Chain A
Amino acid sequence: MADHSFPYPAADIVVAPLAETFSAVFPSSPRRVISQQWPPPQTEYLRVYLKEMGCQTVVVEQHYVDRVFMHDNAIFYARNLRSYPNFTKRMHFFRGAFGQQDWKALIAKAGAGEHGTVQGMLQEQYLGFSVVRPLPDSPVGRTLLPAHASQAPGNTKSQFPTVRRHRSHLAGFDLAVVGVPFQQQDQGVSACATTALWSSLDSVSAVEETSGVSPANITEAATRYPLQEGRPFPSEGLTVRQLCEATRAAGFSPIVIRGTNLADDRLQLLSYLDSSLSPVLALISTKNATTGHAVAAVGFRSGDLPPRTNLNLSFQDWSNCVRGVYIHDDRLGPYAFAELSPLTDPASGTVRTRVAIEWPDKTPDEDWFLYAMVIPVPLKMRLTATRMRRIGLLAAQTLGVALNEPKTTLHCRYEPARRYTAKCYEFGLSPEGLYTLTCQTALSRLVGVAEIAGPNGPLMDVLLDTTEANAEPAVIACVRRSALQDAGLLRSFADYFGATAIA
């Protein structure tokens, strides 16, 4: 006879419209006596973001075991006096409007031999999911939504190179969402820096094809060595040093770059972001120099290139077209737009990069200065973007002068060799050149690409071996792109760098 004294939690799937679901899932303010607002901005942001995406229906799994929360629970919450459940709820978001009876009918239809049809229909409507943690002040757990750039001005383009495909399972249906995971800090096992790094590590894990870690893993790794605060939990935030330590513990290598000015910051951001690597941005308040905050950069918005300002150079950086970045900000939500602009820091009198964060409906949030960036990269990627640019700057300046082309641009990035060799079939290379590049050229797993372009498209790629620390011996090949007519010029470049000319 079964023992019912330890029952399993009730599991059901409830379907409701978006607005009703939010008031049911986040029902009332927990007891609070100081200044915490309710509902938290993260749940309101999520509601606004979903509304912007056209979400109409939410399907709630009443019992969901989330591996990330389960891990955090095991490390921290399981030892609390209050019994926090080890399971969560999970909301799945859909574009179309349907109700509980429709959902039951879908289940019946799938059981009548149309499982594939129903799955396809659900996938077509699927927007993603958000885990609701049983934590009174920080309910927004692992959330995966597609990147959605709302109300971007004309002549701009939003790109999210850090996203990847994540799977979810609902009632036997296999669904997918392409995005970068987000969650709210809980101040127990995580602070803003922890959740920012957690999001960032998801992107580099995809590049390296490894599995991710939980926020509690990050805080534990970050605080393994002597702490000024004396204890890792509850989290009092992380320093840049601790972010580096946690990155190393996760099996990656941290690149640290100090924020300086808009032009330099933009080109660093673009080099890594456009390489599917998500920088953690260390921000400092424009109003209070003692307040630090961290967010994960996951995409960027670009516009037309402005006129070249440095007439000593025969090219300009393509990064000058970047208007802002999309960030996962755990105080707000996923994919918040942050405009980048120059602003004088009243404390130092220097012009720094201002990061102005806004809500999906363009309501302004806070202003910050970019203090630093920490970019988790694969261990074997030793050639930083700055080092790659030593070759890129030289090649772009030379090509711009040689062609007398003032609209020459330079863009340095990293690309998996498999992806670069797949793309090169569209470069218009000769059969010999194509064979040399795809069959006879050894490339590092992540290849450094210094792409030089003109007004009619890319002219030349200088390929670098990113496992080298020094850029000069790292040049592998100079690859002709479709806008470069003269193969002789390509050979001169290859000779100068001691590389293979591929035309």
Chain B
Amino acid sequence: MADEKPVDKSASSSSSASPRPTAAQPADKRVKDIFEKARQTVKPIINREASNETVTEDLLNFRMK
């Protein structure tokens, strides 16, 4: 996704998992911003997976012996 930050693979947290807000940005606002970006990132996946649940005539008529 164009608006997605590159993944820093070296940044794996080892013992505690906690967010890192900057001083100027409250944690809550930062998380909301991340949510908004995440929505755009996962939207194509959600749409693709939803289409897999579309039931068609050829699917229903598939015969198993």
Set of chain A residues within 8 Å of B37, measured between Cβ atoms: 401
Interface set, chain A 108-165, CB cutoff 8 A to B: none
Judge whether A404 and B8 touch: CB under 8 Å.
Answer: yes
B7 within 8 A of A: yes
Q: Which residue of B lies closest to A192 (CB)?
A: B64
Chain A interface size, under 10 / 10 to 19 / 20 to 34 / 35 or more: 35 or more
Q: Does A70 contact B (CB under 8 A)?
A: no
Find the B residue at minimum CB distance from A496: B35
Choose one: B4, B20, B34, B60; the contact of A398 (CB below 8 Å).
Answer: B34
Judged by a CB distance under 8 angstroms, whether A406 is at the interface is yes
Inter-chain CA distance A483–B53, complex, in Å, is: 34
Contact A484 B41 (CB under 8 A): no
With a CB–CB cut-off of 8 A, which chain B residues contact A384?
53
With A240-B61, A240-B62, A397-B41 in contact, do A495 and B28 touch (Cβ < 8 Å)? yes
Question: Within residues 3 to 40 of chain B, which ones have a CB less than 8 A from any CB in chain A?
Answer: 4-9, 11-20, 27-28, 30-32, 34-35, 37-39
Stretch touching chain B among A83-91, A171-179, A309-317, A438-446: A309-317
How far is it, in angstroms, between the C-alpha of A293 and the C-alpha of B15 when the chains are bound?
A: 48
Kindly list chain B residues whose C-beta atoms are within 8 Å of the C-beta of A313. 41-42
One of A1-9, A25-33, A257-265 at the interface:
A257-265
**Contact of B19 (CB < 8 Å), options: A292, A294, A489:** A489
CA distance A390 to B6 in the complex (A): 23
CA distance A401 to B62 in the complex (A): 43
Q: CA A401 – CA B39 in complex, angstroms? A: 12
Q: How far is the CB of A227 from chain B (nearest CB, A)?
A: 11
User: Can you name the residue of chain A whose Cβ is closest to the Cβ of B29?
Assistant: A492
Q: How far is the CB of B64 from chain A (nearest CB, A)?
A: 4
**Are the C-beta atoms of B31 and A492 separated by less than 8 Å?**
yes
Q: Indicate which residue in B9, B19, B39 contacts A403 across the interface (CB closer than 8 Å).
A: B19
CB-based contact B41/A257 at 8 Å: no
Interface centre among A386, A397, A407, A483 (most CB of B within 10 A): A397
Determine the residue in chain B with the shortest Cβ distance to A393.
B42
Contacting residues, chain B, for A371 (C-beta < 8 A)? 62
Q: Is the CB of A406 within 8 A of B11?
A: yes
Query: Which residue of the partner chain, among B7, B20, B34, contacts A406 with CB atoms under 8 Å?
Result: B7
Interface residues of B (CB under 8 A from A): 1, 4-9, 11-20, 27-28, 30-32, 34-35, 37-39, 41-42, 45-46, 48-50, 52-56, 59-65
> Which 10 pairs from chain A and chain B are nearest by CB?
A237-B65, A294-B64, A397-B38, A492-B31, A241-B60, A393-B42, A486-B18, A193-B64, A485-B16, A292-B64
